[in-house]
Amino acid sequence: GTGSSILSALQDLFWLSKSKVEKQLQIISVLQWVLTFLIMGVACTLILMYILCTDCWAIAALYLAWLVFDWNTPKKGGRRSQWVRNWAIWRYFRDYFPIRLVKTHNLLTTRNYIFGYHPHGIMGLGAFCNFSTEATGVSQKFPGIRPYLATLAGNFRMPILRDYLMSGGICPVNRDSIDYILSKNGSGNAILIVVGGAAESLNCTPGKNSVTLKNRKGFVKLALRHGADLVPVYSFGENEVYKQVIFEEGSWGRWVQKKFQKHIGFAPCIFHGRGLFSSNTWGLLPYSKPITTVVGEPITIPKIDNPSQKEVDFYHSIYVDSLIKLFDKYKSKFGLPETEVLEVN
């Protein structure tokens, strides 16, 4: 009896230890992504400049020469790596929150798609995990569909960072890149555009479900020009993982943010999550709140080479209605009250 008790205690200790190790690996996996998002581009640029001033300058020179040769690759679908997309670190990343991908309808491999992702949140963590990695099984849920997450084109001017992003199937959110993927890359492509962009990130805060969409119609026009079906996507919990200081319209803080957004392409948010060693302290790690990304029903879009504003407005209204219906259908399943309303700005 005593031996059994000791063995049982050792087993309990072993599993407790394993649980702690897994939690630390989850924290490390999320931390590396947060640092990538915030500083990798600048850090790699500075390191490359430093190497140019050392005895190892030839290494940096060779990379820069190759960079010139490879400059247009991001505009031509990038260079995805299934090996990188399947790294174990992304599974720890997924489990930290956890993040989940919900499929509601099948997608035909004979069509191309533009996914509208909502809301932006601070870092678009659900968009990255679900569509730039295989952690939630996007390739199994949508066989034959190649997802491309579109992000700021400026990220692809940063050495090393550009290659890291492309390995996950991330592409620039500009017309050249989207035109290439939807017209010269066959069918079965799905470009994920975070429609609200930087403007939406300025208003994200826990407990708030709002999207910047009323005047965002460029993605609809692109869909019409290429005959790509539109798919609304909503991530429940995306706004819950960080707390942000929200500046009122007309304040100096909002003025600075809008100036950055206009001239640089992103808006500097003042936000915080939890600390590295404790959830009770402030830090850069997001809070471990569940994020559930629901992919809605595709909207069939005709191919119109030069769509009129009336046609763009018509399909945009259909898209907005579909997004609201998607939100209303699933909100109670993922922790929101039936009375919750999606605010469309």
Which residues are within 8 A (CB) of 303 and not within 5 positions of it... i.e. 6 or more apart?
A: 224, 225, 226, 227
Question: What pLDDT is attached to residue 16?
Answer: 57
Please indicate, yes or no, if residue 1 is contained in any of the structural domains.
no
For residue 32, the enclosing domain spans 16-344
Question: What pLDDT is attached to residue 83?
Answer: 97
Average pLDDT (150-159) is: 93
Percent share of the chain, pLDDT over 70: 94
Region of poorest pLDDT, from 59-68, 178-187, 217-226, 255-264: 255-264
Please indicate, yes or no, if residue 6 is contained in any of the structural domains.
no
Closest CA to 290 of 33, 136, 92, 96: 96
From CA 21, how far away is CA 174, in angstroms rounded?
Answer: 41
* 248 DSSP assignment: P
Question: What pLDDT is attached to residue 203?
Answer: 84
Q: What three-state secondary structure class fits 274?
A: strand
Do residues 147 and 190 make contact, with C-beta atoms less than 8 angstroms apart?
yes
* 37 DSSP assignment: I
Res 15 pLDDT > 80: no
From CA 185, how far away is CA 254, in angstroms rounded?
Answer: 40
Read off the pLDDT band of 12 (50, 70, 90). low
State the chain's mean pLDDT as an integer: 91
Read off the pLDDT band of 4 (50, 70, 90). low
For residue 33, what are the CA distances in angstroms to 89, 185, 196, 254, 292? Answer: 10, 29, 22, 27, 19
Closest CA to 27 of 291, 271, 283: 283
Omega prior to 302 cis, within 30 of 0: no
Question: What pLDDT is attached to residue 35?
Answer: 93
pLDDT in tens, 63-75: 999 999 999 999 9
From CA 46, how far away is CA 217, in angstroms rounded?
Answer: 38
From CA 206, how far away is CA 95, in angstroms rounded?
Answer: 20
Q: Find residue 243's DSSP bridge partners.
A: 272
Res 5 pLDDT > 70: no
Region of poorest pLDDT, from 168-177, 244-253, 303-312, 326-335: 244-253
Q: What three-state secondary structure class fits 300?
A: coil
Domain count, the chain: 1
Please indicate, yes or no, if residue 2 is contained in any of the structural domains.
no
From CA 286, how far away is CA 295, in angstroms rounded?
Answer: 23
Res 290 pLDDT > 90: yes
Average pLDDT (187-202) is: 92
Residue predicted with more confidence, 231 or 264: 231
Res 266 pLDDT > 60: yes
Please indicate, yes or no, if residue 4 is contained in any of the structural domains.
no
Please indicate, yes or no, if residue 131 is contained in any of the structural domains.
yes
From CA 308, how far away is CA 58, in angstroms rounded?
Answer: 53
Question: What pLDDT is attached to residue 14?
Answer: 54
Please indicate, yes or no, if residue 214 is contained in any of the structural domains.
yes
Strand runs labelled E in the chain: 99-103, 113-118, 146-151, 170-172, 189-194, 210-211, 229-236, 243-244, 271-274, 282-283, 291-295, 343-344
Omega prior to 119 cis, within 30 of 0: yes
Mutual orientation of helices 2-35 and 88-96 as an angle, nearest 10°?
100
Q: What three-state secondary structure class fits 215?
A: coil
Please indicate, yes or no, if residue 142 is contained in any of the structural domains.
yes
Percent share of the chain, pLDDT over 90: 78
Tokens coding 111: 């069509």
Please indicate, yes or no, if residue 7 is contained in any of the structural domains.
no
Average pLDDT (20-37) is: 92
Res 262 pLDDT > 80: no
**φ, ψ (nearest 5 deg) of residue 310:** -65, -40
Closest CA to 211 of 171, 229, 231, 238: 238
Question: What pLDDT is attached to residue 314?
Answer: 98
Res 269 pLDDT > 90: no
